[in-house]
Structure 1
C-alpha cells in the first residue's frame, strides 16, 4: 500500500463517519417518511448537478483564462473554487422567493454577507499572491541560469 493510499484512507474514514452521523441525526431528529426521503434525494441530486454541471466547469474555464498567471495560478484557482463553493452554499438564501412570514427565520441581508465574504476571499488571495511573489523574488537564483 502506498503512502498516498494510506492518506486517502485516513481522510475517508472521518468523512464517512461524518456522513453516517449526519444521516443518523437526520433520521433521529426528523423521523422522515417516504415523501421526505424523496424530497431529500431530489435536493441532494440537485446539489450534485449544480456542483458537477455549473461549479466545476466554471472553475475550469476560469482556470484556463488565468493560465498565464504562471506560479500564481494555483492560488487563483483556490480562490475561484472557494468563491464558487461559498456561492453555492449561499444560493438558497440569496434566491429565496420573498420575505418569510416569520422575520426571525431569515433575519439578515444575505447579499451583504455574501459580498463581504467574497471580498474577504479576494483580499486573502491578493495577500497570499503578493507574499508568494515577494518571497520568490528574494530567493537567490543559481549561477548559470
Structure 2
C-alpha cells in the first residue's frame, strides 16, 4: 500500500512540476518559493513556538481551548487574507469582491473564540473538567478513584 501511495504522490509532484515549467515564470516562482520558506522558518515557526510556550502556562482546559482557537483562527485568517486585503478588487468591476470581508473575518474569529471558550467555561461551571483531570492524575499515579 505504501508503494501505491508513494507512486501516486510522485506522479502528482511530477504533474505539478510540469505545470510550473510550462505555465509559470521560473525565476518569479523560485523567488516566491524561497520567500515562502524564509517567511515560514524565520517568522512563523518562532511565533508558533513562543505562543505555544506562553499558552503552556495556562490551566489544562484553557490551554487546549486557547491553542485550538489560535490554530483555527490562524487557518481562517490565512485563507481570508487575500479577500481582506482586496487582492483582485478592481474599481471598474465592483461586483468582483463586493462583501465586507474584514468585518466577516472579525465575526468568524469571534465565533471561533466563543466556541472554544464555551468548553472550559461549561467545565468550570459544572465541575466536570476538574473531575476528569483528577481521575486522569489518579490513573497516572497508578490508583483509581
- State the SS of the aligned residue for 2:58: helix
Q: Say if 1:111 and 1:75 are closer, same or farther in 2 by CA, change over 3 A.
A: same
Structure 2: 5+ residue stretches without partners: none
How do 1:67-86 residues align onto structure 2 when only pairs under 5 Å count?
A: 67-72=56-61, 73-86=63-76
1:41, CA displacement in angstroms? 4.6
Residues of 2 paired with 1:132 and 1:52: CA distance?
37
Number of the residue aligned with 2:129? 136
- CA deviations over 1:25-68 (Å, ceiling 9, x no partner): x94xxx615x2x54445445444444443333223222222232
Number of the residue aligned with 1:108? 99
Normalised to the residue count of structure 2, the TM-score between the two structures is 0.61
Residues of 2 paired with 1:109 and 1:45: CA distance?
32
- State the SS of the aligned residue for 1:69: coil
Number of aligned residue pairs: give it.
131
Structure 1: 5+ residue stretches without partners: 1-5
1:97, CA displacement in angstroms? 6.5
> Is contact 2:84-2:101 (8 Å) kept?
yes
Larger Rg: 2
How do 1:1-145 residues align onto structure 2 when only pairs under 5 Å count?
A: 16=9, 23=16, 27=19, 32-33=23-24, 35=25, 37-72=26-61, 73-96=63-86, 99-100=89-90, 101-133=92-124, 134-139=127-132
Normalised to the residue count of structure 1, the TM-score between the two structures is 0.61
Q: Say if 1:127 and 1:47 are closer, same or farther in 2 by CA, change over 3 A.
A: farther
